[in-house]
Structure 1
Amino acid sequence: MTTFNRRDALKLGGAGVAAAALLPGAAHAAPTPSFQHGIASGDPLPHAVILWTRVTPTPESLPGSGNGPSVPVDWQVATDADFTAIVAHGTVSTGPGSDHTVKVDVATLAPDTAYYYRFLLDGASSPVGRTRTAPASGADVAGLKFGVVSCANWEAGYFGAYRHLAARTDLFGVIHLGDYTYEYKAGDFSAGGKIVRQNLPANETITLADYRQRHAAYKTDPDLQALHAAYPWMIVWDDHEIANDMWSDGAQNHDPATEGPFAARKAASRQAYHEWMPVRFAAGDLLYRTLRFGRLTDLVLLDLRSYRSEQTSGVANDDPARTITGDAQMAWLKEKLSESETRWRLVGNSVMVSPVAVGALATRVLGPLGQLLGIPEGGYPINGDQWDGYSADRKELLNHLHDNKITNVVFLTGDIHTSWSNEVPLDAATYPFSPSVATEFVVPSVTSDNIDDILKVPARTVSVAAEGLLSATNRHVRWAELDSHGYGVLDVRRERTRMDWFFLSDRTSRTATSARAAGFETPSGSQRLNRVWF
């Protein structure tokens, strides 16, 4: 059966280029040939953080090649950038079996503390990174800020969003909501048809070597290296880390007849992701996990690709046998939201949870005619790859929030290359007379095509009409901007949570400027949104 994929829906210090920074906003570090792919940290806990790098011990030790020797790599953590006060250190062996990547979970640190870290190979030092541990679980935290990003397509432009976030000095860390890399072959998904810089490898990524090489290419970007070195990242994957519109057993962009079994491709992409990303997988090799920041907020990170049913057309979206989370993850998610004792519950959610429909009238409103026509409960969705395509799961989750009086839930979403501020209705058809049970902030793409890019039309032309249609038929959508590329800055405080959107002047320019475009906040206990004009 024919379905819309998301691109269709949108139409309605390493070597040479290393750029690790000693501090947010600091000058780029000098290149070091042994560390061509920078350094990174991630998944901060009160006493632990993941540290990452990749070494190139010999010229033939190229990513994905399987060549080169096994070597010992030293790591150090200190409370000062000069490493006169080292608090943790060790040695890790790496080689071609792990693509010469190094990943250390340092678990002897103090809560809510800034640290500096580096790696050493044969006496040569990597660039120095700065990271931070989370506050203790019982700490009374007044506020934290996070950069929020999604959808960084190499061929479509430069990572100016990363550069501008790395220059800030007020963030705790970075939340990346997926599509960190893209799988397409050269030219398949570029900047409105223009290749700004070509993918490596040039072919579509299918094998383990392919995925390793693609990760390696992305990690030569100076702006990506700078942001990784400046802050710890908290990351989930979406689909393009594997293949477009992926579901549990396949993907829109995978042909078993010519590309082999999907299970093999999925395993290869997952292994490369394990190796190349500063992510701590939970017990049982699960990507979905929770990070806590004192009594201020829990960050619940979801995996909406590994367990979902295949996407389908609108008439089957209400089927309770279909799932976007899988049964185990849904049970885990509801439990985490129920047991959370923090002021806020942030949900890192790769695809939009808020309903977006044309003709959004419930079946009960249309009566028997709607039943005969087979209109799904939320109306006809524009994009069945989102939670719209799995409305039984969404209904179960939102009913859980409502029935258990779980408040201050904020979904953080990427995927659709556009910017939205949504109230999440319990019943979209009768909203706003029915309640809002959460809010949702959707960040734009770093570079990936949006409506005007795909249609190759000037910005603020076709998109303006689309934004008007969305607001007219979806009363819970408080704001949508469908043209611009950029990032979000999330400011979490006891009394409110606020997102500010920043848009780039030109994704195809290495020197693109950034400007604040809009801001919305949700006051504690309200589940509603207010525009912030200053």
Structure 2
Amino acid sequence: MTESPDTQSPARPRRRRVLKAAALTAGAAALPISLSGTATAAAAPEFLHGVASGDPLPDGILLWTRVTPSPEAQPGSRLGADTEVTWQLAADRSFATLVATGTVTATAATDHTVKADVRGLTPDTAYWYRFTAGGVSSPVGRTRTTPAADAPLDRLRLGVASCANWEAGYFSAYRHLATRGDLDAFLFLGDYIYEYKSGEFCARGSVVRPHAPAHEITTLADYRTRHGRYKTDPDLQTLHAQVPTIAIWDDHEFANDAWSGGAENHTPGTEGDWAARMAAAKQAYFEWMPVRPSIAGTTFRRLRYGKLADLHLLDLRSFRSEQVKTGNGGVDSADRTLTGRAQLDWLKAGLASSDTRWRLIGNEVMISPVAFFSLPDYLLRPLAKLLGLPSEGLAVNTDQWDGYTHDRRELLGHLKQHGIKNTVFLTGDIHSAWAADVPEEAATYPASESLATEFVVTSVTSDNIDDILKVAPHTVSLAAVAAIQAANRHIKWVDLDSHGYGVLDITADQVQMDYFTLSDRTREDSATKWARSYRTRTGTQRVERVWSPVK
């Protein structure tokens, strides 16, 4: 039962301030009856995986947690009793003013994860939430609804990240985002988990911290266990508890270079049916992530922040055709698709009908065309390895939009035909940072116009070029950067070596991405520093360098 929400709206955060993490409150444990019928003392339920909120709406928010009812009820175990969980949403951190409350049951069928999709809330309002079970309270989380659809909004600020490999390092990037205190939401662009077996993909060949299970994950129990291990990270828990999360998946939530019928990292003969593996991965994802399943059980959906911006979130794995080999001509085929027909039509319709100042697109793989010409062999091979492509004759990355040029031409043509301006693609995937114009014709740019812009964020921890080569950052890779920019004049900046995150600041006049890098991903106390900033000003469809981050 949901009560009427409180109408008071705390001021929207606009400047950095360190937010203190809430403490776990212990409570009294019940005395369950054992199978033998005798009363036995048991550990109280625990909230070992933190809390999270996600997919904010003007009148609603999705709340998430996972309860461990007993020690044996570990993620993926299918063990543990059904447990009643109460959730509370309040207008204040002390929970003196409850605005909504309810109960849900955590069961082994959903790996003891629970969600509450709370509606009837006040737009643009901060709330605090928690869960209780068996007299034990979870950590306290803070969240916020979005402004009303027709509300003016002066600023929106998002933390942006992708590619977080557990074995390659610590998630310090999440801690630094959490302590800013000025974010409206956390946008994650894919590869929240990695499917590899232990040691197969880690920090320069060394495991910083082992994940679980140790083998490559292929079953529902495996994916649940891997998600559970990730959710024990304290920095990840802190970030999820501070701001709502908006997330999409990419390939490693399933398997490397996934497509609708398989993946590079899937062998049917030994790893079973691909459809079953993908279904298991999706089930675990929706159990463990604060994300509402959308159309056809995927992650493509649309959110809105007043009259300032709408956010179109894509799923570029569920419907795509298989990647073609470089050089066989298939990249231009109209018979192949990256988005699928229904999703592309949905995106085009949403862009055409948008009445906001900015159209942001959460995009798993890079849409800006990139040709890799004039690269020496010693750079071509590690770059191909990073992108999962053949090491000979690399011209384009066929896992990106470059491998599906018919879809890209149709989408860009739609932007031009309808005069759609201020479209910004926000991308992850390739463990490197980029700022680029998205030209109508790359070969004739800048004579041909730019129809959109793109900001690509680097990895939180996953290996990049200097890691593959095991050299110092920004040494050998500089030759690759020079060659990429010489062959692609619309690419304004590339950083192939750093790990970190981005902070996207949106106002009526501009969208600016501030890029931050970590000092050492293998240290829990890794420092962070501002690296670069690029912006696109309204009406220009071009990026330009800015010499300081937004304050």
The answer to whether TM tops 0.5 is yes
Structure 2 contact 69–81 (Cα < 8 Å) conserved: yes
Aligned equivalents of 1:125 and 1:222: distance in 2? 17
CA shift for structure 1 position 462? 1.9
The corresponding residue for 2:13 is none
Alignment pair present for 1:37 and 2:49: yes
Amino acid at match of 2:437: E
Separation in 2, partners of 1:57, 1:275 = 17
Task: Please state how far the C-alpha of 1:24 moved relative to its aligned partner.
Answer: 5.5
Identical amino acids, percent of aligned pairs? 59
1:47-446 equivalence runs, <5 A: 47-314=59-326, 315-359=329-373, 381-446=395-460
Residue identity opposite 1:452 in structure 2: D
1:390 is matched by which residue type in structure 2?
Answer: Y
Structure 1 SS opposite 2:92: coil
What's the CA shift for 1:285? Answer: 2.1
The alignment's TM-score, normalised by the length of structure 2, stands at: 0.88
The 3 A distance-change label for structure 1 pair 417 and 28 is: farther
Letter in 2 for 1:445: S
Q: 1:459 to 1:389 in 2, by over 3 A?
A: same
- Offset at 1:403? 1.1
Say whether the 8 Å CA contact 2:373–2:483 is kept in structure 1.
no
Give the TM-score normalised by the residue count of structure 1.
0.91
Q: 1:31 to 1:518 in 2, by over 3 A?
A: farther
Deviation at 1:27, TM superposition (A): 4.0
Deviates more, 1:30-39 or 1:289-298: 30-39
The secondary structure found in structure 2 opposite 1:308 is coil
String of CA shifts for 1:25-74, please: whole Å, max 9, x gaps: 31463476610000000000000111000001111111111111111100
Q: What is the aligned counterpart of 1:486 among 466, 477, 500? A: 500
SS in 2 for 1:254: coil
AA in 2 matched with 1:150 = S
State the Cα deviation string for residues 237-259 of structure 1 (Å, max 9, x = none). 00000100000010000000000
Conserved 8 A contact 2:298-2:318: no
1:24–1:230 CA contact under 8 A, matched in 2: no
What is the total number of aligned residue pairs between the two structures? 494
Alignment pair present for 1:472 and 2:466: no
Tell whether the 8 Å contact from 1:381 to 1:388 is kept in structure 2 after alignment. no
Cα distance in 1 for residues equivalent to 2:408 and 2:25: 48
Q: Please tell me the root mean square deviation across aligned C-alpha atoms, in Å.
A: 1.3
The CA deviation at 1:381 is: 3.6
Shift in Å, 1:382: 3.0
1:283 Cα offset (Å) = 4.3
Task: Name the SS of the counterpart of 2:332 in structure 1.
Answer: coil
Q: Would you say the 8 A contact 2:212–2:225 is kept in 1?
A: yes
Residues 141, 242 of structure 2: 8 Å contact kept: yes
What is the CA–CA distance in structure 2 between the aligned matches of 1:355 and 1:492, rounded to whole Å? 25
CA contact (8 A) 2:314 2:363 kept: yes
Deviation, structure 1 residue 359: 4.9
The whole-number CA distance in structure 2 between the counterparts of 1:405 and 1:342 is 14
Q: Following TM superposition, by how much is the alpha carbon of 1:286 offset from its aligned partner in structure 2, in angstroms? A: 3.1
Partners of 1:90 and 1:27 in 2: CA distance? 24
Give distance in 1, aligned partners of 2:192 and 2:543: 29
Q: Structure 2: how far apart are the matches of 1:476 and 1:283? A: 34
Alpha-carbon distance in 2 for matches of 1:222, 1:91 = 26
> How many angstroms apart in 1 are the aligned matches of 2:532 and 2:155?
20
